[in-house]
């Protein structure tokens, strides 16, 4: 796979790339990557830099030093999070579709009545409710250089394209007004989900089982770029996912029930969000469950968020257990 900076509108971005057995950090501009020394990122690694990112200093390095064509390197996940927080049911139209479908199946409401009821419910939730969070495993974060090995224990592995917030300065019990001051940047994440493991079958009262449904190896393809926060308006981004060239998801972050400041503030009330941590903001309508089409060996997912670049994930059959 050839990586380019197509779709990357910022003057520069960060990426991590493979250099033999090592992984290095680089500055991406115009289809080239400039290696960054430990000194140039502050001497404390990526997360140390993100705790107080000096984007202005990095900007002075654009066009200097020796660069490598992006096509000649293998990019991997651009982040090294210690914590992964995920957000559920956060796109208004998506949730309305799900609720309305359930209402029409279980009541005598017409589709129009069910949709109106669901829309009113979501508007109340946005005005009076709180975001819904759960946690993922950082070990699932990989770059799109790693094929997605579909576990053999299920045939219903699904895609969920999401805008991911990368935390900068530590955030603990922050207000919505101050929340964006704690963002270092943004990236792309495809939150893979095994649908038939979401709800426990042995004891339905327990509810959801996010550990088994979302935390197989490679289930959080991430990147390829980390775009600095000053270059991104998270309220006005378009998310688009194609499966083998066919558009499956196409939506805007203006449909979020809880925006990025609300999510950061809400998540930080319980536990400090640390530099380099990633907060997923939810996925819009158009996943495999909607289309009744799930991932198969040989599938290729092409995910893009305008200004953040393009991620290409290739699916392969996982080993039989």
Q: What is the DSSP letter of 245?
A: T
The model's pLDDT over 235-292, given as tens digits with 9 standing for 90+, comes to 999 999 999 999 999 999 999 999 999 999 999 999 999 999 999 999 999 999 889 9
Statement to judge: residues 136 and 177 lie in one domain? yes
State pTM to two decimals: 0.94
Nearest to 225 by CA among 36, 38, 48, 25: 25
Q: Do the domain assignments include residue 3?
A: no
Statement to judge: residues 141 and 286 lie in one domain? yes
Band (106; pLDDT cuts 50, 70, 90): low
**CA atoms of 51 and 76, how far apart (whole Å):** 21
Q: Do the domain assignments include residue 8?
A: no
Statement to judge: residues 174 and 278 lie in one domain? yes
The three-class DSSP label of residue 77 is: coil
Statement to judge: residues 169 and 281 lie in one domain? yes
- The sign one gets for the Cα dihedral 317, 241, 187, 266 is negative
**CA atoms of 74 and 145, how far apart (whole Å):** 7
CB atoms within 10 A of CB 51: 18
Nearest to 281 by CA among 131, 102, 79, 114: 131
Q: Do the domain assignments include residue 260?
A: yes
In which domain, by residue range, is 166 found? 84-88+132-317
Statement to judge: residues 121 and 236 lie in one domain? no
Which of 91-95, 172-176, 265-269 is least confident? 91-95
Q: Do the domain assignments include residue 113?
A: yes
Position 282 scores a pLDDT of: 95
Q: What is the mean pLDDT of residues 106-112?
A: 77
Band (109; pLDDT cuts 50, 70, 90): confident
Position 254 scores a pLDDT of: 93
Position 302 scores a pLDDT of: 98
Statement to judge: residues 277 and 162 lie in one domain? yes
Statement to judge: residues 124 and 140 lie in one domain? no
Position 188 scores a pLDDT of: 98
Residue 105 pLDDT greater than 90, yes or no? no
Number of domains comprising the chain: 3
Statement to judge: residues 232 and 151 lie in one domain? yes
Domain CATH code at residue 138: 3.90.850.10
Statement to judge: residues 183 and 298 lie in one domain? yes
268 token code pair? 């930080």
- Mean pLDDT, the chain, whole residue set: 93
The model's pLDDT over 150-173, given as tens digits with 9 standing for 90+, comes to 999 999 999 999 999 999 999 999
Residue 75 pLDDT greater than 60, yes or no? yes
Q: Do the domain assignments include residue 201?
A: yes
Residue 1 pLDDT greater than 70, yes or no? no
At residue 272, what are phi and psi to the nearest 5 degrees? -60, 135
Q: What is the mean pLDDT of residues 26-30?
A: 95
Statement to judge: residues 99 and 211 lie in one domain? no
Which of 120-124, 133-137, 179-183 is least confident? 120-124
Band (2; pLDDT cuts 50, 70, 90): low
**CA atoms of 136 and 211, how far apart (whole Å):** 7
Q: Do the domain assignments include residue 312?
A: yes
Q: What distance, in Å, lies between the first and last C-alpha atoms of the chain?
A: 29
């Amino acid at each position: 796979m050839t990586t380019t900076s197509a779709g990357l509108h910022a003057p520069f971005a960060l990426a991590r790339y493979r250099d033999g057995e090592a992984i290095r950090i680089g500055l991406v501009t115009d289809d080239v990557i400039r290696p960054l020394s430990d000194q140039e990122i502050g001497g404390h690694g990526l997360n140390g830099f993100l705790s107080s990112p000096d984007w202005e200093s990095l900007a002075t390095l654009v066009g200097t030093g020796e660069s490598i064509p992006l096509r000649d390197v293998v990019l991997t996940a651009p982040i090294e999070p210690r914590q992964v927080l995920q957000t559920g049911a956060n796109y208004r139209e998506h949730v309305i579709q799900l609720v309305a479908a359930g209402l029409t199946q279980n009541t005598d409401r017409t589709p129009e009545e069910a949709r109106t009821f669901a829309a009113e419910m979501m508007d109340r939730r946005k005005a009076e409710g709180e975001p819904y969070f759960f946690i993922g495993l950082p070990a699932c974060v990989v770059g799109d250089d790693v094929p997605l090995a579909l576990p053999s224990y299920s045939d219903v592995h699904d895609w969920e394209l999401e805008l991911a917030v990368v935390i900068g300065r530590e955030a603990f019990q922050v207000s919505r007004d101050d929340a964006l001051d704690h963002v270092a940047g943004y990236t792309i994440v495809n939150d893979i989900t095994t649908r038939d493991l979401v709800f426990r079958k042995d004891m339905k009262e327990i509810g959801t089982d996010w550990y088994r449904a979302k935390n197989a190896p490679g289930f959080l393809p991430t990147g390829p770029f980390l775009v600095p926060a000053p270059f991104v308006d998270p309220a006005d981004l378009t998310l688009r996912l194609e499966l083998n060239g066919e558009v499956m998801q196409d939506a805007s972050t203006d449909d979020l029930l809880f925006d990025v400041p609300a999510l950061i503030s809400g998540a930080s009330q319980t536990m400090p969000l640390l530099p380099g941590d990633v907060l997923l903001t939810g996925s819009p309508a158009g996943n495999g469950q909607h289309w009744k089409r799930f991932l198969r060996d040989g599938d290729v997912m092409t995910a893009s968020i305008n200004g953040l670049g393009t991620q290409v994930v290739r699916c392969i059959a996982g080993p039989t257990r």
